[in-house]
RNA sequence: GCCGACGUGGUGGAAUUGGUAGACACGCUAGGCUUAGAACCUAGUGCCGCAAGGCGUGUGGGUUCGAGUCCCUCCGUCGGUACCA
């Protein structure tokens, strides 16, 4: 037996043992409750980074713990294998994205094993495999049939560096989420998923996601962005388009009587039409052109100068009948609301600035109410009053509160046929077309006669052609593959062309958790009975950067698949019950990244310290949801702890190897030190169990085990004191059992060296002995005027009065009581006495 | 601006319902072991003070017998989001 823990050979030996015994290969069973734990699958970029190490270590600990607690634990893993880096690598290294991807997968899978993470690899998926993506091609066609997928010409976000379209969610502050270059916009015909049809349901569902962190649910609420208000129709009063109605959306219908003009988005279809009718086409189109040229970052800067141009026509306010002028304005966005805004300069900051600039009237219709006497005057010159209040100068609505008017005015308008109450969302439909090769082909054929025709279902999958070149220039490689491109129309048989766009890779990650539930079969994506058994995901773990992308898409997709009949009725509407967002890994105060050169390579750590040390460090250094600040010294500390546990077992081996763990009643222990040790051991079981059950507080669980180890180091036992040796044995067994989810290789080795033949990873968790944690004495805190003055140890049975009396006699306490008048005595039974004196 | 999270020793971080602030670890100091070093073992380590004691959880206030914890104010950090009508 070695005298130190040799991680290099020990770890691989246990990994081999787990593989042979199929630990974590699970099937449906009724004799245990199921537990589905899922970590977001990695993009196979080449090697693991520390974020992966943290994510999957957390998942592995939970999986091992839940299994030990008697759950039927499903813990699958796969590869989010489509994406741009593979294509770039293909161009750079003159290889094929497929070859590059699969060789990365092979390497990373070895790294997974070296970390000691256990998965049911029979369920592994690689999303770039045709037998995976063929199902989403089918889902796409079914969504098309249901009207949930559609094509439209639209202004889309374009990343010139990635040469592809981006969804709104993938643009961060005007930059591409992937390459961080500035994005522009483009007019393109693109495929969309109708997420907006589920907007209300996705919003409502958030309140039921009680197991999700608030930072995610609040971000999703914000992103969906529901606004309650009204649509109001303003009729064109003059010119050739007289009588046309322009709908506006407003959240403040109570201010409608204060409208003094209307603003249209420059790209609004009516803008040019109306201007042309009024003979102002040249000026207005020049303005529209100027706005269009300004890049999006500048245009959306809140300090960007508000500008507009008159269209030369007027509209009629349907409530007051007033004729007001119409403008095109640069701050009105075509893609929110109706692209037209009623302007109330007295009560909106932007309208106010615009009105000042162009000398337009400002009409006050809201008056502040219930202001405290010392409040500053509300109508400060040059400011809009944007709060609620009481209506002024608003005809029959005068005197109502804003709240009342917001309800009444839209109903009144609806009766007159000039508007209605309505709801608006910030959420946009999900643009899923990508002008890339390495993605799932969109199963559509374009025919001059029949238009966009879905590929017949029996001809799926549409497989990516292999014989393509990757030059990085021009259109997508798919558009240059003649064999792929030229086909016959499935309807008329005439010559037709395949769709050459591929799907956004977020489509693959929107349903992989369902695919895992069934061991892959060629005839269906997953089996309904498996989804009924395993669904929903009990614990999902991943980075917070997906709060408004993946985590919204997969909630959407789950509902769609249920509505299409793939996910059986009765399975909850939400795909994941609990979500844990692990924090980012930092080093030197910044997120680890190649460009900053502050990355730590997991391979080097495993080589030098071993997987267990690495696992312990990432779990111990911070709570899982917080930023983890990398510390080389901290890793050394974890490494020392591993050695300390090893020595604790082996230094005591001769004392404990021939005794059984203590099993008699706790009260019968004669040696007080041994009794104390046993109490500590069982308190530790209780503490670690609670930490793992509640919020996965791995850091405090590990520190509790460290305390027990320190206690064992301080425990001295004689060879002839057999009961104490039994208690020592029990305590050491406890350390090994409790530590095993965190440092599984070390603990398997120690378990074996302690003389056990079983695999520790298959052993049940242990419960604490309630009698052992129950102390017969209590420590009472004594305070004087709330300040801690003494601790006294008393019998558990002591009465309230005795507690106070004994506390008052303590010399440290009398010092502060003498010569003072006792006003009051606060007694918390079994805990605390506080003397209040004057 | 708005939404969310957070602010505790030299450092990472502990502190169930308001009840011993600083567990555990890093670092540092001293001692032991060693030819020496590393490793290991033991002890100490919030600040001021010889001590008694005093002061201490971003700031200022409040509630309470008692506040890191609850309420209000302000300051700061991080994440998200934004001409959203």
pLDDT tens-place string over residues A441-469: 999 999 999 999 999 999 999 999 988 88
- Read off φ and ψ for residue A826, nearest 5 degrees: -100, 125
Q: Is the CB of A589 under 7 A from strand B?
A: no
Quick one: average pLDDT of A521-528? 94
* pLDDT confidence bin for A295, thresholds 50/70/90: low
Least confident of A117-121, A176-180, A328-332, A782-786: A176-180
Quick one: average pLDDT of A711-740? 95
> Which residues from 222-281 of A have any strand B atom under 7 Å from their CB?
222-223, 225, 227, 229, 249-252, 265
Least confident of A278-292, A524-538, A557-571: A278-292
- Within 8 A by CB and 6+ apart from A423, the residues are A200, A226, A227, A228, A229
> Which residues from 607-636 of A have any strand B atom under 7 Å from their CB?
620-623, 626-629, 631, 633-634, 636
pLDDT tens string A118-149: 999 999 999 999 999 999 999 999 999 999 99
Please state the ipTM of this predicted complex: 0.95
**What is the 8-class DSSP label of residue A574?**
S
Residue A733 has a pLDDT of 97
Going along A22-181, which residue ranges are E strands? 34-39, 72-74, 149-159, 164-166, 171-172, 175-176
Q: Is the CB of A778 under 7 A from strand B?
A: no
Flag whether pLDDT at A167 surpasses 90. no
Flag whether pLDDT at A471 surpasses 50. yes
Q: Is the CB of A350 under 7 A from strand B?
A: yes
pLDDT tens string A545-584: 888 899 999 999 999 999 999 999 999 999 999 999 999 9
* pLDDT confidence bin for A594, thresholds 50/70/90: confident
> Which residues from 519-548 of A have any strand B atom under 7 Å from their CB?
544-545, 547-548
Residue A474 has a pLDDT of 65
Q: Which residues pair with A835 in a beta bridge?
A: A784, A825
pLDDT tens string A648-684: 999 999 999 999 999 999 999 999 999 999 999 999 9
* pLDDT confidence bin for A174, thresholds 50/70/90: confident
The torsion defined by the Cα of A761, A739, A716 and A724, in degrees rounded to 10, comes to: -40
Round to whole Å and give the CA distance between A443 and A501.
Answer: 9
Quick one: average pLDDT of A340-355? 93
Looking across all nucleic acid strands, the nucleotide with the smallest C1' to CA distance from residue A424 is B84
Residue A30 has a pLDDT of 86
Q: CA of A838 vs C1' of B53, distance in Å?
A: 19
Residue A299 has a pLDDT of 61
Residue A381 has a pLDDT of 52
Round to whole Å and give the CA distance between A335 and A548.
Answer: 19
Flag whether pLDDT at A531 surpasses 50. yes
pTM: 0.93
**What is the 8-class DSSP label of residue A408?**
H
Q: Is the CB of A331 under 7 A from strand B?
A: yes
* pLDDT confidence bin for A301, thresholds 50/70/90: low
Closest residue by C-alpha to C1' distance, nucleotide B24: A703
> Which residues from 101-120 of A have any strand B atom under 7 Å from their CB?
none
Residue A15 has a pLDDT of 97
How many CB atoms neighbour CB A545 within 10 A?
15
Of A778, A769, A817, A771, whose CA–CA distance to A799 is shortest?
Answer: A778
Here the tokens at position A45 are 């970029």
Q: CA of A651 vs C1' of B35, distance in Å?
A: 27
pLDDT tens string A53-83: 999 999 999 999 999 999 999 999 999 999 9
Concatenating the DSSP letter of every residue in A265-315 gives -TT-HHHHHHHHHTT-HHHHHHHHHHHHHS-HHHHT-TTSPP-EEEEEEEE
**Count H helices, E strands: chain A?**
26, 32
- Read off φ and ψ for residue A11, nearest 5 degrees: -60, -45
Q: CA of A789 vs C1' of B57, distance in Å?
A: 20
Percent of chain A whose pLDDT exceeds 90: 73
Looking across all nucleic acid strands, the nucleotide with the smallest C1' to CA distance from residue A173 is B81
Concatenating the DSSP letter of every residue in A632-665 gives HHHHHHHHHHHHHHHHHHHHHHHHHTTSPPP-S-
Give the helix/strand (H/E) hosting A542. Answer: strand A537-543
Residue A186 has a pLDDT of 83
Percent of chain A whose pLDDT exceeds 70: 97
Q: Give the SS3 label for residue A700.
A: helix
Least confident of A277-286, A371-380, A531-540: A371-380
Q: How far lies A838's CA from each of A785, A818, A825, A826, in Å? A: 9, 11, 12, 15
Q: Is the CB of A739 under 7 A from strand B?
A: no
Residue A380 has a pLDDT of 46
Flag whether pLDDT at A282 surpasses 50. yes
* pLDDT confidence bin for A370, thresholds 50/70/90: low
Here the tokens at position A703 are 């520190």
Looking across all nucleic acid strands, the nucleotide with the smallest C1' to CA distance from residue A330 is B83
Q: Is the CB of A671 under 7 A from strand B?
A: no
Here the tokens at position A336 are 């929110």
Residue A379 has a pLDDT of 46
Round to whole Å and give the CA distance between A495 and A481.
Answer: 16
**Cβ–Cβ < 8 Å for A610, A11:** yes
Give, in degrees to the nearest 5, the angle at Cα A438 between A434 and A440.
Answer: 70
- Within 8 A by CB and 6+ apart from A815, the residues are A789
Of A81, A134, A133, A132, whose CA–CA distance to A106 is shortest?
Answer: A81
Q: Give the SS3 label for residue A409.
A: helix
Looking across all nucleic acid strands, the nucleotide with the smallest C1' to CA distance from residue A635 is B26
Q: Give the SS3 label for residue A203.
A: helix
Asked, as a colleague might, if the bond just before A32 is cis with ω within 30 of 0, I would say no
């Amino acid at each position: 037996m070695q005298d130190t823990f040799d991680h290099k050979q020990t770890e691989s030996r246990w990994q081999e043992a787990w593989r042979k015994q199929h630990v974590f290969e699970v099937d449906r069973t009724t004799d245990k409750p199921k537990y589905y734990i899922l970590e977001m699958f990695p993009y196979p970029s080449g090697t693991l980074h520390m974020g992966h190490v943290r994510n999957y270590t957390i998942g592995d600990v939970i999986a091992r713990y839940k299994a030990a607690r008697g759950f039927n634990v499903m813990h699958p893993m796969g590869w989010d294998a489509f994406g741009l880096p593979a294509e770039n690598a293909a161009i750079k290294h003159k290889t094929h994205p497929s070859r590059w991807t699969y060789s990365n997968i092979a390497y990373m899978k070895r790294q997974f094993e070296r970390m000691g993470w256990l998965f049911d690899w029979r369920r592994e998926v690689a999303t770039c495999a045709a037998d995976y993506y063929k199902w989403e091609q089918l889902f796409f066609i079914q969504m098309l049939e249901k009207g949930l997928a559609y094509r439209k010409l639209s202004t889309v976000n374009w990343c010139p560096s990635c040469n592809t379209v981006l969804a709104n969610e993938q643009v961060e502050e005007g930059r591409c989420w992937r390459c961080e270059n500035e994005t522009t916009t483009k007019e393109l015909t693109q495929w969309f998923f109708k997420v907006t049809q589920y907007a209300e349901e996705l919003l409502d569902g958030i309140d039921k996601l009680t197991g999700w962190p608030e930072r995610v649910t609040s971000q999703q609420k914000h992103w969906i962005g529901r606004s309650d208000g009204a649509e109001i129709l303003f009729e064109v009063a003059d010119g050739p388009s007289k009588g046309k109605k322009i709908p506006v959306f407003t959240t403040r219908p109570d201010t409608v009587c204060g409208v003094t003009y209307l603003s249209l988005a420059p790209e609004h279809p009516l803008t040019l039409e109306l201007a042309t009718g009024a003979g102002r086409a040249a000026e207005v189109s020049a303005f529209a052109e100027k706005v269009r040229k300004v890049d999006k970052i500048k245009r959306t800067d809140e300090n960007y100068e508000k500008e507009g141009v008159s269209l030369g026509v007027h509209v009629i306010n349907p409530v007051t009948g007033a004729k007001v002028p119409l403008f095109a304005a640069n701050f009105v966005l075509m893609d929110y609301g109706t692209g037209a805004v009623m302007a109330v300069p007295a009560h909106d900051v932007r309208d106010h600035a615009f009105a000042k600039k162009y000398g337009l009237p400002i009409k006050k219709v809201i008056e502040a109410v219930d202001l405290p006497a010392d409040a500053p005057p509300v109508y400060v010159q040059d400011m809009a009053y944007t709060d609620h209040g009481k209506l002024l100068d608003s005809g029959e609505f005068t005197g109502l509160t804003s709240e009342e008017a917001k309800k009444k005015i839209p109903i009144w308008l609806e009766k007159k046929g000039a508007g209605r109450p309505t709801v608006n969302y910030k959420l946009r439909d999900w643009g899923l077309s990508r002008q890339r090769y390495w993605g799932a082909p969109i199963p559509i054929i374009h025919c001059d006669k029949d238009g966009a025709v879905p590929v017949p279902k029996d001809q799926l999958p549409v497989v990516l052609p292999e014989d393509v070149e990757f030059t990085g220039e021009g259109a997508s490689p798919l558009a240059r593959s003649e064999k792929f491109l030229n086909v016959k129309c499935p309807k008329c048989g005439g010559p037709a062309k395949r769709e050459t766009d591929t799907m956004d890779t977020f489509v693959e990650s929107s349903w992989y958790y369902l695919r895992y539930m069934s061991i892959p079969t060629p005839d269906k994506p997953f089996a309904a009975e498996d989804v009924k058994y395993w669904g929903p995901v009990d614990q999902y773990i991943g980075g917070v950067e997906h709060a408004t992308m993946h985590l919204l898409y997969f909630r959407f997709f789950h509902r769609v698949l249920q509505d299409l009949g793939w996910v059986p009725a009765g399975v909850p509407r939400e795909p994941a019950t609990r979500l844990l967002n692990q924090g980012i890994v930092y080093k030197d105060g910044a997120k680890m990244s190649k460009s900053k050169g502050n990355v730590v390579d997991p391979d080097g750590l495993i080589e030098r310290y071993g997987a267990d040390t690495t696992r312990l460090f990432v779990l111990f250094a911070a709570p899982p949801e917080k930023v983890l600040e990398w510390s080389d010294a901290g890793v050394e500390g974890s490494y020392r702890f591993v050695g300390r546990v090893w020595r604790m077992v082996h230094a005591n081996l001769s004392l404990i190897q021939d005794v059984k763990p203590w099993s008699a009643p706790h009260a019968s222990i004669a040696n007080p030190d041994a009794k104390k040790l046993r109490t500590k051991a069982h308190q530790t079981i209780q503490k670690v169990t609670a930490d793992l059950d509640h919020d996965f507080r791995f850091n405090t669980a590990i520190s509790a085990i460290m305390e027990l180890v320190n206690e064992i180091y301080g425990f001295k036992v004689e060879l002839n004191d057999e009961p104490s040796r039994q208690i020592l044995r029990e305590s050491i067994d406890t350390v090994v059992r409790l530590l095993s989810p965190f440092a599984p290789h070390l603990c398997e080795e120690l378990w074996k060296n302690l003389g056990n033949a079983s695999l520790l990873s298959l052993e049940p968790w242990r419960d604490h002995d309630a009698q052992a944690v129950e102390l017969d004495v209590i420590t009472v805190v004594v305070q004087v005027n709330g300040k801690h003055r003494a601790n006294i140890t008393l019998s558990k049975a002591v009465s309230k009065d005795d507690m106070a009396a004994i506390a008052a006699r303590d010399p440290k306490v009398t010092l502060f009581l003498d010569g003072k008048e006792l006003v009051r005595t606060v007694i918390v039974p079994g805990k605390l006495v506080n003397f209040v004196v004057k």
